[in-house]
Chain A
């Protein structure tokens, strides 16, 4: 028997951060009147809470708690070995993820009686109609939406490397099921995911080797920061192969052999376990976007205007399935709000220029706006300063001086156009950079603003002051 078509004011394809953000905003704007269908598979909350930000930060924090006491930074503090059980840590991690998913997603959506959840994959029949296909591959329902939001997210991909599938590998989706800690890991991919997971495993005691195709780490940030982070991780024992191409993977007696081509010729990295962290692909293959007239880029990412409108009237997109430069949970949620606001006739636009991003290694890396190179390429010239944490009192006190604050300004008016930070708490203090870039503050605005002494935030003030005076001739607290 054919399913009757169910009509909704809004059909949301996906159930992650962008989807939840959109559903809640739409409910608020309509005072709970908007009927919403939320269609998707997998655990509620999508990547971030289940296999992304939440478990990775849990694992990193636990690993630092093990590592830091055995690496004291202050005189008179002695090395202490922390007793721990990796298996129990992973149980705690999975338990916390389940709690966060329940508290922040399952219980939340239950409180919105106007939202109906559908389990299954959505497939466009036409611009307004979506067929929902269940796990058995059969149509389980058909929904019609006055507006439709595509927020299906992305999934890890693996490059076509000979022997990779047969040898087996973990990804950022599957590593959270680990019970025991392998003695060594090879990680293909030196981006944020590879570095965060790599440092966590290193801090728990594994040997970690990163294999990266590019010649530097974190190309989205300033080269000084990529270089400093690599130096810091190497000091902790992480091994790097940069400009390395993986030619083949094979099983070995105790694990896996990763054959790589470097400037030295072919080398073999032996590891107990292999993680592939080379990138993600948009979950758009199943959607039949052509039937709805929704255009994608060559990678399958949905093309949108800065209003989050797609090429098809009444269809919007938000989150990691959107064609853009930064793929972040925070941006996904904002895009969901922008999309819904525009459904109600507002003229809201997404602001990518002041979006902050972060890598939660220790020290952390965070950035906002343009790098020196990006601004120079666009405008022909720029002005920038690199401030070392060696000159920051708070960093010296706690012995964590391996860091940099780099600020780029428009030389025409000294307005801050980019800020990139490597510091123990870069993810917290980068918000000052976001305000500066978003509101077009000048370095004088930052200098004239009170900053706590001694603190890491003071480093941003000092980095701004370094535009106007020689820091080596400056006493503490000079305004």
Chain B
């Protein structure tokens, strides 16, 4: 396993339900090991298995795809 920590800036979250939706969406992605999302900071901290998923693939997660209004960019990897 190639463990990697990826930091995301997440746009569009306004409440705890949003945090739960984004967290659940990311956790369901194959290769994602752990997710911590902060509403206050608008960021996500994702631990992933680099052998299964690339950091850029997180941005293609269904939770960041239309018609979802959440969007994200990678801030650090």
- Whether A344 and B69, one on each chain, are in contact in the complex, defined by CB atoms closer than 8 angstroms, is no
- Whether B59 and A345, one on each chain, are in contact in the complex, defined by CB atoms closer than 8 angstroms, is yes
* Least Cβ–Cβ distance between B56 and chain A, in angstroms: 6
- 9 residue pairs of the A-B complex, CB under 8 angstroms, read A30-B71, A31-B71, A33-B11, A146-B73, A147-B73, A344-B59, A344-B71, A344-B73, A345-B59
List B residues at the A interface (Cβ < 8 Å).
9, 11-12, 42, 56, 58-60, 64, 69, 71-77
Please count the residue pairs between chain A and chain B whose beta carbons lie under 8 angstroms apart in the complex: 40
- Whether A345 and B11, one on each chain, are in contact in the complex, defined by CB atoms closer than 8 angstroms, is no
9 extra A-B contacts, CB within 8 A, seeds A33-B11, A314-B74, A345-B72: A30-B12, A30-B71, A31-B12, A34-B11, A34-B73, A146-B75, A147-B73, A345-B58, A345-B60
Q: Provided the pairs A146-B74, A146-B76 are in contact, do residues A30 and B11 lie with their beta carbons within 8 angstroms?
A: yes
- Nearest opposing residue in chain A for B57, CB measure: A345
- In chain A, positions 310-335 with a C-beta closer than 8 Å to chain B are 313-314
* Least Cβ–Cβ distance between A292 and chain B, in angstroms: 16
- Nearest opposing residue in chain B for A32, CB measure: B11
Q: Mark A22-35, 1 if CB is under 8 A from B, else 0.
A: 00000001110110
- Nearest opposing residue in chain B for A347, CB measure: B60
- Whether B9 and A9, one on each chain, are in contact in the complex, defined by CB atoms closer than 8 angstroms, is yes
- Whether A31 and B69, one on each chain, are in contact in the complex, defined by CB atoms closer than 8 angstroms, is yes
* Least Cβ–Cβ distance between B9 and chain A, in angstroms: 5
- Nearest opposing residue in chain A for B13, CB measure: A33
- Whether A9 and B69, one on each chain, are in contact in the complex, defined by CB atoms closer than 8 angstroms, is no
Query: Which A residues lie within 8 Å of B76 (CB)?
Result: 146
Q: Provided the pairs A9-B75, A33-B42, A146-B74 are in contact, do residues A345 and B9 lie with their beta carbons within 8 angstroms?
A: no
- CB of A437 within 8 Å of the partner chain: no
- CB of A60 within 8 Å of the partner chain: no
Query: Which B residues lie within 8 Å of A146 (CB)?
Result: 9, 73-76
* Least Cβ–Cβ distance between A112 and chain B, in angstroms: 14
Query: Which B residues lie within 8 Å of A313 (CB)?
Result: 77
* Least Cβ–Cβ distance between B36 and chain A, in angstroms: 18
- CB of A343 within 8 Å of the partner chain: yes
- Whether B75 and A29, one on each chain, are in contact in the complex, defined by CB atoms closer than 8 angstroms, is no
- Nearest opposing residue in chain B for A35, CB measure: B9
- Whether A9 and B73, one on each chain, are in contact in the complex, defined by CB atoms closer than 8 angstroms, is yes
Query: Which A residues lie within 8 Å of B64 (CB)?
Result: 344-345
